Structure 1
Amino acid sequence: MPEPQRRPLPHDFHPPVASFSVHSDDVQDGQRLKDDQVYAGGNVSPHVRWSGFPEGTRSFAVTCFDPDAPTGSGFWHWVLFDIPANVTELPLGAGSGDMAGLPEGAVHVRNDYGTRDFGGAAPPPGDGPHRYVFTVYAVDTEKLGPDADASPAYVGFNLRFHAIGRAHVIGEYENPAEG
């Protein structure tokens, strides 16, 4: 079977912006996701922290996108924005379950599972490895504009014009072919 084509990352189509650091206790760049970040294994949003973002940052957004999903448009697993500028870390589970540690005022929009939270990795069996791009955006405004009924694409559109910095960590996950 041919190697699946690697699709571009969602921010490859946005203008260049400052970079900064993002780290996670749960997602290591280029490494397999932990079972907690898998839909059937726990479905828990990972810990994420960031530093070195540009001056003028007034809020943050955090997303998780699978560009390798066999949809023609990728798959949004997590879209969270209007995170206050004084928050530089989301604890494990802040975007799932009872959302303990989710900053007041932060807004979730529906992911491609149709829920307003983090939805873990669930690539089709035998589809090869998928990348899960966890991106933190530094935003130049306290309120991005969309509300909780917006689509991930509309949030991305607004981030295109308001992101002044961006950092990401990419985990991978694969479901082996059945049988």
Structure 2
Amino acid sequence: MTELKRRPLPHDFHPPVPSFTVTSEDVKEGAVLRDAQVQSAGNTSPQLRWEGFPAGTKSFAVTCYDPDAPTGSGFWHWVLFDIPASVTELPAGAGSEGFEGLPEGAVHARNDYGSKDFGGAAPPPGDGPHRYVFTVYAVDQEKLGPDADASPAVVGFNLRFHAIGRAQLIGEYEHPKEG
């Protein structure tokens, strides 16, 4: 296993919580991301569906994180929270331009591109495969606390104390070295 694959995931530093199931028509565990989820191709947030979350869930949060980005701190591609507990699926594109299917009340925090939406995979050419960790958090309150101007770190801080369950799906993408 390469050094890239040993970098921790953000919730590795959070207390353990029960897991539940997240599936996607667009992202398959361990498989290469589709062009639709690549910034230069489709830049479209994937369809996600979840089930089996803990009783007491009052809202959900969804993130996409690349722990293998050459930044020293990874790269946040998507930070969405305050998804109502009645919502158990996001259609493809809910986090992308137009926000079709985005549940009322859901809040996008800024990602590391500096925008408040989903930003697709864009690893540097020749940097090897990167993991894209899509995580759905079951949250113990309807409103997590931060607003749309929060950084991913502030949202993560709040999730550390309010997540009561977590589900993840990891896809990969590599941009081959040019020339």
| Cα offset, 1:97, TM superposition | 1.1
Rounded to whole Å, the distance in 2 between the matches of 1:130 and 1:146 is 28
Aligned to 1:90: 90
Which position in structure 2 is the counterpart of 1:75? Answer: 75
Partner of 2:111: 111
Cα distance in 2, alignment partners of residues 155 and 60 from structure 1: 12
What is the match of residue 25 of structure 1? 25
2:4 and 2:50 map into 1 onto residues whose CA distance is: 30
Q: Secondary structure at the match of 1:19?
A: coil
Q: Which residue of 2 aligns with 1:65?
A: 65
Structure 1: unaligned runs, 5 residues or longer: none
Cα distance in 2, alignment partners of residues 5 and 37 from structure 1: 21
- The whole-number CA distance in structure 2 between the counterparts of 1:3 and 1:18 is 29
1:4 and 1:117 mapped to 2: Cα distance? 30
- How far does the alpha carbon of each residue in 1:61-113 deviate from its partner, in whole angstroms, 9 at most, with x for none? 00000000000000000000000000000000000010000000000011000
Give the Cα–Cα distance (whole angstroms) in 2 for the partners of residues 5 and 103 of structure 1: 35
Aligned residue for 1:5, secondary structure, equals helix
Q: How many residues align?
A: 178
In 2, the alpha carbon distance for the partners of 1:137 and 1:40 equals: 28
Cα RMSD over matched residues? Answer: 0.9
Superposed CA offset, 1:3-26 (max 9, x none): 443210110000000100000000
1:5 maps to which residue? 4
User: What percent identity do the matched residue pairs reach?
Assistant: 78
Segments of 4+ moved more than 3 angstroms: none
Paired residues of 1:44 and 1:96 also in contact (CA < 8 A): yes
- The AA in structure 1 aligned to 2:4 is Q
Q: TM-score, normalised by structure 2?
A: 0.98
- C-alpha contact (below 8 Å) 1:126/1:175 kept by paired residues: yes
Q: CA separation in 2, counterparts of 1:91 and 1:12? A: 28
> Partners in 1 of 2:36 and 2:3 — Cα distance?
25
**Separation in 1 of the partners of 2:94 and 2:123?**
23
Q: Determine the C-alpha separation between the residues in 2 that align with 1:124 and 1:139.
A: 34
3-state secondary structure, aligned to 2:121? coil
Looking at structure 2, the residues matched to 69 and 43 of structure 1 have their Cα atoms a distance apart, in angstroms, of 18
The answer to whether structure 1 residue 37 and structure 2 residue 37 are counterparts is yes
* Pairing 1:123-138 to 2, within 5 Å after superposition: 123-138=123-138
**1:140 to partner: Cα distance:** 0.1
